[in-house]
């Protein structure tokens, strides 16, 4: 198993170039977010200035959990990421630096595993294009910020890799870790069951039990919440603090369009709706063309957030949720075979990446 993990995360020059391109955009946008606006700054504190934008919005919740533990409101955030920050801080590392390190190490792993996963179905050139689209997606800066997206996507990709290799025990283990990182991780069970059924041609054997490890990630969190807060469903109850409730996906889309038409928080509604539509279009283009387990993952990743809107923002955080749907990058790479189309996508995507991260680093809500 150790040998397989080593082979999984081996790097090549393309991965290094793509990783550095992502980091260059992060550094430039993060630096310009400070020095291009009025206020005091010391150019000698370059790294402090650049890192400032990585600690915004939800990052504060993960750092607070890592320092102080859970309360009724913070129960909405799953435990693995803040637990890792806590462990690094116990070793003497600053919690902010620990969060940045975890996210950026995870990003490096994401590129390594995503390429190997893509190569199972596509040629090297298509796989490289898919990596570019993932690393420079307009909201891919969340993969370097103190957010769970990077760790979650890494664990999802590793889980799928072992699904494809028919290694059910490590697949269940990493799926369990994904379900301990984000609530969406539990839905990896369904792609896993499809891969198992496909691999065994419908003949169920005892090793299917390893897939039960995936929902165990949520179960362990519920046991912890029962012990600490007295309510195993505290993570559900905590959604009330963000005013989320149930609605059908089409109702969420309709309400977002209404708010956009009424010019209520126009820029937020436009951003959320645009990314949601991009995700839906790429999903429908991928349906029937990508692997069915990938389609299942993409479907749950789109539908579940659409079923939990907030009144002020029916598509709240969708630009961030769409970003981790890795099959859309494979679809985009398959469609953009011409060099001109590839360069156009990169130019548009990286420009939006720079602009949106600059806003985020300034403290504006993006997703």
The tens digit of pLDDT for each residue in 42-76 reads 666 777 778 888 999 999 999 999 999 999 999 99
Q: Which residue has the higher pLDDT, 196 or 244?
A: 196
Q: How far apart are CA 22 and CA 143, in angstroms?
A: 10
Q: Are 280 and 315 in contact (CB under 8 A)?
A: no
Higher pLDDT, 184 or 266: 184
* Spatial separation of the C-alpha atoms in residues 13 and 141, rounded to whole Å: 21
**Among the listed ranges 3-7, 48-52, 79-83, 88-92, which one has the minimum average pLDDT value?**
3-7
pLDDT band at 9 (very low <50, low <70, confident <90, very high): low
Each residue of 60-89: b (16+ CB within 10 Å) or e? ebbbbbbeeebeeebbbbbbbbbebbbebb
Q: Is the pLDDT of residue 139 over 80?
A: yes
Rounded CA-CA distance 19/131 in Å is: 9
Residue 345 CA to residue 276 CA, distance in Å, equals 18
pTM, 2 dp = 0.93
Q: What is the dihedral of CA 136, 140, 141, 147, to 10 degrees?
A: -160
Residues 6+ apart with CB under 8 A from 271: 319, 366, 367
Mean pLDDT of 259-276: 87
Q: How confident is the model at residue 7 (pLDDT cuts 50, 70, 90)?
A: low
Packing angle between helix 149-164 and helix 95-118, nearest 10 degrees?
30
- Which contiguous run of DSSP H or E holds residue 185? none
């Amino acid at each position: 198993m150790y040998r397989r993990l080593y082979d999984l995360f081996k790097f090549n020059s393309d991965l290094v170039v793509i990783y550095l391109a992502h980091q260059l955009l992060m550094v430039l946008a993060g630096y310009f977010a400070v020095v291009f606006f009025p206020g005091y700054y010391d150019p000698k504190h370059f790294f402090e200035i650049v890192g400032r934008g990585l600690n915004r919005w939800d990052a504060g919740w993960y750092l607070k959990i890592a320092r102080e533990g859970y309360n009724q409101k913070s129960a909405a955030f799953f435990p693995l990421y803040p637990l890792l920050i806590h462990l690094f801080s116990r070793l003497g590392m600053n919690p902010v630096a620990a969060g940045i390190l975890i996210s950026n190490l995870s990003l490096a792993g994401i590129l390594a595993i995503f390429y190997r996963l893509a190569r199972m179905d596509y040629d090297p050139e298509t796989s490289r294009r898919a990596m570019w689209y993932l690393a420079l997606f307009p909201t891919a800066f969340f993969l370097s910020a103190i957010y769970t997206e990077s760790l979650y996507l890494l664990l999802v990709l590793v889980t799928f890799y072992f699904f494809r290799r028919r290694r059910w025990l490590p697949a269940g283990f990493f799926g369990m870790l994904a379900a301990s990182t984000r609530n969406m991780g539990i839905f990896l069970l369904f792609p896993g069951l499809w891969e198992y059924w496909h691999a065994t041609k419908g003949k169920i054997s005892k090793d299917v039990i390893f897939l039960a490890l995936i929902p165990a990630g949520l179960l362990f969190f519920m046991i912890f919440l029962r012990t600490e807060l007295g309510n195993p469903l505290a993570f559900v109850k905590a959604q009330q603090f963000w005013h989320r409730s149930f609605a059908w996906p089409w109702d969420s889309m309709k309400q977002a369009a209404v708010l956009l038409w009424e010019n209520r928080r126009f820029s937020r509604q436009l951003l959320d709706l645009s990314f949601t539509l991009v995700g839906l279009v790429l999903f429908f283009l991928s349906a029937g063309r990508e692997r069915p387990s990938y389609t299942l993952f993409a479907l749950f990743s789109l539908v579940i957030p659409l079923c939990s809107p907030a009144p002020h923002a029916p598509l709240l955080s969708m630009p961030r949720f769409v970003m981790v749907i890795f099959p859309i990058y494979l679809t985009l790479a398959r469609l953009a075979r011409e060099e001109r189309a590839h360069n156009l996508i990169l130019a548009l995507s990286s420009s939006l990446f720079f602009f949106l991260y600059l806003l985020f680093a300034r403290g504006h809500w993006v997703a």
